[in-house]
Amino acid sequence: MKHLSILTVILLYFSTTVAIAQPTRTEMPDARMLRFPDVSAEKIVFVYASDLWTVSKNGGLARKLSSPKEQELFPKFSPDGQTIAFSGNYDGNTDVYVMLAEGGTPRRLTHHSDDELVVEWYPDGKHILYRSRMVSPSHRFNRFFKQSIDGGWISAPAFSFWNTEGDWEVEGWGVDPDYEIENAPDEMVAGRDPQLEKAIEVILEMLEEEPPKRPKRPAYPDRSDRIK
């Protein structure tokens, strides 16, 4: 009996130690898993474990807005805080979606085979700026695109950054004459190069207006004096 009592004490000691070492369900989650936060006047939206969550700016319990199988990224509040734009991968491709800030069914805005990643809302609250490699033949660079929340055609903004006065400015200026060219995605996919076509058109017009001057051919040299 004495040996049994000692064994019982030892087992109770180790079971208590293991129970203390194990984390409880009330522990806070690892904050490093909270990604891509954005703030509105009242709420914070973020991505946790590939899902969208919101929480009050004053703190409290976070609320999950969705729980799809695939990931959601880069949530952004609309200027009025009523809508959230984000990039979601629901069917094997990452596209731009919008949903109400209170939750609901996401609505898809883009349908291109390349990934579209949300950057920001336009101040009017009716358009979303996103980046994509859809017009990069080698997929080496992104370009900005403007998408209406009502759907329809996209457009590529002609400017790339804000200046100190709050206006868009051209990223760089070419050699005069400088022309602004519309690069429609369908033309790029079809193998056309609008920039090259415009350059050829301008050069041909310049050659027609100011033909290059051809120098007069000089007389052939007289080498008869060398003949003996």
CATH number, position 91 = 2.120.10.30
Q: State whether 195 and 167 are in the same domain.
A: no
Per-residue confidence band for 75, with pLDDT thresholds at 50, 70 and 90: very high
Q: Is 74 in the same domain as 161?
A: yes
Residue 14 lies in a domain: no
Instruction: Give residue 137's pLDDT.
Output: 66
167 and 59 within one domain:
yes
87 with 125, same domain? yes
**Quick check: is 223 in a domain?**
no
> Which residues are within 8 A (CB) of 39 and not within 5 positions of it... i.e. 6 or more apart?
57, 77
State the pLDDT at residue 173: 56
User: Is the domain of 152 the same as that of 203?
Assistant: no
Residues 73, 165 within the same domain: yes
Q: Residues 166-193: pLDDT tens digits?
A: 666 665 555 667 777 776 777 777 888 8
* Alpha helices, H only, the chain: 2-21, 185-189, 194-209
Residues 102 and 199 in one domain: no
17 pLDDT band, cuts 50/70/90, is: very low
**pLDDT digits over 121-169, tens only?**
999 898 998 988 877 766 677 888 888 888 776 666 654 566 677 666 6
Last residue of a domain, one of 172, 191, 219: 172
Higher pLDDT, 33 or 30: 33
Check residue 174 and give its pLDDT: 58
Kindly report the length of the chain.
Answer: 228
**50 and 128 both lie in a single domain:** yes
Give the torsion through C-alpha atoms of 102, 108, 109, 114, to 10 deg. Answer: 130
Question: Are 103 and 200 within one domain?
Answer: no
Considering its fold, how many domains does the chain have in total?
A: 2
Taking alpha carbons only, the member of 11, 24, 55 closest to residue 37 is 55
Q: What is the span of the domain harbouring residue 68?
A: 29-172
What is the percentage of the chain residues whose pLDDT exceeds 90?
16
Query: Does 161 share its domain with 203?
Result: no
The arithmetic mean of pLDDT across residues 94-104, rounded, is: 90
More confident residue, 170 or 77: 77
Mean pLDDT across the stretch 21-44?
Answer: 67
Residues 189 and 87 in one domain: no
Give the C-alpha separation, 97 to 193, whole Å. Answer: 30
| 69 lies in some domain | yes
Q: Is the pLDDT of residue 12 over 70?
A: no
Query: How many helical (H) and strand (E) elements, i.e. helices and strands, does the chain have?
Result: 3, 14
Question: Is residue 72 a part of any domain in this protein?
Answer: yes
Question: Whose CA is closest to 77, among 120, 25, 27?
Answer: 120
Q: How confident is the model at residue 22 (pLDDT cuts 50, 70, 90)?
A: very low
Same domain, 130 and 109: yes
pLDDT band at 9 (very low <50, low <70, confident <90, very high): very low
Q: Is residue 125 part of a domain?
A: yes
Mean pLDDT computed over every residue of the chain:
77
User: Among 59, 35, 43, 151, which Cα is nearest to 97's?
Assistant: 151
Determine which of 65-69, 87-91, 102-106, 143-147 has the lowest per-residue pLDDT on average: 65-69
Give, in order, the Cα–Cα distances in Å from 84 to each of 80, 88, 97, 149, 217: 10, 12, 8, 11, 73
